[in-house]
Structure 1
């Protein structure tokens, strides 16, 4: 039996890509889930509006804003565990709107930490990102790798991570930091590269328009990432620790495109566009996760590993995006940041 049994779990950022999958996973595990969704006047709950039928109606939704201390504390009241995913994550958008990243990613995290300290929350799992490492200085990238802010986004996440760890060291707040590498899967925004490729091809495009093709990434299928969150919520060994989670497999953007083209059975040319490229010193050229610590401190291991696992995750992602009702939610003709 899970040591989360009988606990109430708050998921911030539950209306997003990973958050909605995480809510589905936790509900299916039999946990009581409160999903924190960004308030809007349309009354919509992001991807929570489109969760699987077996999950609909089986969780509570709290509409608020992670930047609002009172709303965050209200949402956390009565919750035993907080899985904190709410963040602004698009790198290009951070170039021209960095203030919003500081407010959301750093101040939002502070609100969660302050409330956790006040309410004596049993555990906070704070979400980091592999972008905090910058371009790999050695591989595989371990948790000891230097932190390098190569974009305002990554700098804001470094700040949020350090703030979370400071609450553990200063006040004994039971915080742990999960550092996922490049998660992909159904529902992901086209500000990420794999959905950009898939939506263009699914819309019948004969040219795939991308940024730089040479960078490598450690793409992790979303099913593995959500299991990593549960592992970090349950493990007795991870308080005050930062733990990487990835597939342990490195592939270039160009080879990723070719894998997708092969799986979809289409013919297409790859075009690299300057507007889709990051400024030279901001581009993270190489990411490859070292996951030995995750395997040592938790019972987690990737189910989608190596090229075979990557291709299997790609097939499942393509199947979702190829559904016309899902594809209609995306703008394949537009470069989204």
Structure 2
């Protein structure tokens, strides 16, 4: 990210780090709230500060848990490698956490106070579009990646239009915390709302995130997965298996998670296995029993890593 954030496109803009204070790091961690304040917390009565709270309307009753905007570099100021290396190490550690501390890098001409207000305005505007009370995807890296990968160009154009005052925004991915630049087809027409299919997918986001995180945290326990990198399409694949589970009639979260984990590991060798499928109606009648039924049946499932979906 050093070369990216110091390139000619970004160098003449402010470069910020956005962190989520709903997660608390060890006070001695170099990126903790305490250490950031010690390093960046200027005591200014007036003027722009290096640390700025983003007063989300769902959290502004307690500013201490609101996100912090860290001004890493001013226009025409080169960023130093040490802080970026620390950030990258942290995103790698937390990439499968249910909530993550490092939210995004934002590159913009906006000064801190204006950017903080803009982020809240964007979230409130998206919430109004979706007819929800609150919606701030840029504080949740998984949601950003979900939106980016599962939306059409038009669906993504709606969010991208909200970022018109940003030169760039980068979010950490589930692939080892590697930062991804949020970009879409510039020629896409901006719709007035997200598509119906896209909104339906969003309803399953929590289940999909749970499946991705469970797979990411546990897959290395299997010999056949130890040397296999996490798929670049893991969110798309997880969405496929979660949707498949619902289509089969499964409603219990544990059953859906069990179906998804085995789908990600065995693919069609599991999802099309007649001995597996005969237990689905039984699990529908008795939710939460699918894993026990499959395990007790001692079904032999042949691993076919190339047999995707």
Same fold (TM over 0.5): no
* Bucket of the pairwise TM-score, normalised by the shorter protein: under 0.3
Give the number of the structure whose residues are more often helix, by fraction.
2
Q: Rg: which structure is higher?
A: 2
Per chain length, whose mean CA-contact separation is higher, i.e. which structure has more relative contact order (CA < 8 Å, sep 6+)? 1
